[in-house]
Amino acid sequence: MKITGMTTYKVPPRWLFLKVETDEGITGWGEPIVEGRADTVRTAVEEFKDYLIGKDPMKIEDHWQVMYRGGFYRGGPEIMSAISGIDQALWDIKGKYYNAPIYDLLGGACRDKLKVYRWVGGDRPDDVKKSALEALSQGYSAVKLNATEEMHYIDSFIKIDEACNRIAAIRDSVGYKLDIAVDFHGRVHKPMAKSLAKELDKFNLMFIEEPVLSQNNEALREIANHTSAPIATGERMFSRWEFKNLLQDGYVDIIQPDLSHAGGISECKKIAAMAEAYDVAVAPHCPLGPIALSACVQLDICTPNVFIQEQSLGIHYNKGADLLDYLADASVFKYNDGYIEILSKPGLGIEINEEAVIEAAARGHNWKNPVWRNYDGTVAEW
């Protein structure tokens, strides 16, 4: 079997899909995307295309090694995201060839169902109580929200008080029927992150996420002294080599590799195995589309230290299209009491509605994340 074609589709709300074709009629789908850098990643995929056309799609590990090591300069979000989407598509082909879900090719299922959580509150968190009650009525048992809007290196305690009031509103309305995760989103700098983590500790959170940017992971040592909540990070880390020091330092409790950014299924399986050796849990990052989510689910099903999965249904980023819009059968992601049932179909376990993809790609998108500024005009982290 040989790879004969690779086609990318830039589809709303902010995604890039990849279709890989073979001379035996088996096709695979991947989602190579950096949010806000779709055209850059598309170009990287095109650069790898020259190497991959005519190659055997079954040699996934060898292709991964060539794509990663074949250039003198390597890594980074755009290159690793291109590799990620290609890797997902090759695994999809391999699963379809063997008529097996990908998790069966990676050791088999080690769970019966997979817990998921829902986003509430938006980018500038608002009316979280209403959203949390809605999530509870939909059967979810866990939610996540952004902690704050923009925050300066040293900022007003009012913003910390507002964050606590939002969490209190959820706790007062639903008690412990919902697990709550709070995402600092890397928009909180170390001096304020310590204070915010300390004040949120009384709410017994499921985890706090990215309390500082991953470039500043050395600060996790100090933040861990101010909270008992599990600390999660990793969505902006792109290979096992970047996770190595984080795990060795011992201040992270949950890692969140993104299967569309951190090397795909192949690399994230290795990252998860590394984390297991350090007694660290995994909660893959995935505010993306159905291909990325199905890749995550395939990994989750065969990975024992995964405990929950992010998914984007109804997320505030999804304008003009949503998670299920590109699936021929949306019922594969039917959520029962906050869980996804085990996917059983071959490959990624989903069927892409190619007509919908082609139609949406004709509209395309030019999504960029907003540029925020602090009260004094300095650029803020988004």
- Catalytic positions, please? 185, 285
Q: How far apart are CA 10 and CA 255, in angstroms?
A: 29
Q: Whose CA is closest to 338, among 130, 115, 131, 145?
A: 115
Q: Whose CA is closest to 93, among 125, 60, 138, 115?
A: 60
What the block records as the tokens of 238 is 């792109």
Place of tokens 């390597």: 74
Kindly provide the residue ranges of all beta strands, DSSP E only, lying in the chain, ordered along the sequence.
3-11, 15-22, 27-30, 113-119, 142-146, 179-183, 207-209, 231-233, 254-255, 281-282, 309-310, 335-336, 339-341, 372-373, 379-380
What the block records as the tokens of 221 is 């040592």
The amino acid at 195: S
User: Which long-range contacts (C-beta less than 8 Å, at least 24 apart) are formed by 354-360?
Assistant: 354/19, 356/325, 356/326, 357/9, 357/11, 357/17, 357/326, 358/9, 360/9, 360/11, 360/12, 360/321, 360/325, 360/326
